[in-house]
Amino acid sequence: MPKATFEARYENLGRICEFVSSTAKRAGLDDSAAYAVELATNEACTNIIEHGYGGEGDGQIECSIEADDGGVTVVLLDWSRPFDPSSVPEADFEVPLEELNPRGAGLRLIRGSMDEVQFEPIPGNGNRLTMRKSR
């Protein structure tokens, strides 16, 4: 399973996305599915940097991706404060754009892009996000 650790910095988002996208394409995902994996990973890592670590700093994001006959699984580990997705209200996209509350929009994007999404706190300190995209 390919794995890499990145400093939690916005400038590394492109490298992280290339890491998962290239593996997803080699695993046989079509361009649309590989883009969905890249999009969800980018949003998740942005949230880790912004909300988990409170901006760029000393944090890290460990990213692994595993391919099998059914698709790919991306696992993101961070060592920021624990995250409870149920504490974030569901974004309402039925309102006019100027009334849209962006809080929760990223989670909806991640869940809408991937087939399975699971958030787990790591005992002690940190979080594990597992995302699956099927073929």
Q: How far apart are CA 133 and CA 54, in angstroms?
A: 28
**CATH superfamily, region 3-134:** Histidine kinase-like ATPase, C-terminal domain (3.30.565.10)
Q: Give this prediction's pTM.
A: 0.89
Run of H or E including 75? strand 71-78
- Tens digits of residue pLDDT in 60-75: 999 999 999 999 999 9
Q: How far apart are CA 15 and CA 42, in angstroms?
A: 10
Residue ranges of domains in the chain: 3-134
How many Cβ atoms are within 10 Å of 13's Cβ, its own excluded? 18
- Tens digits of residue pLDDT in 26-45: 989 999 999 999 999 999 99
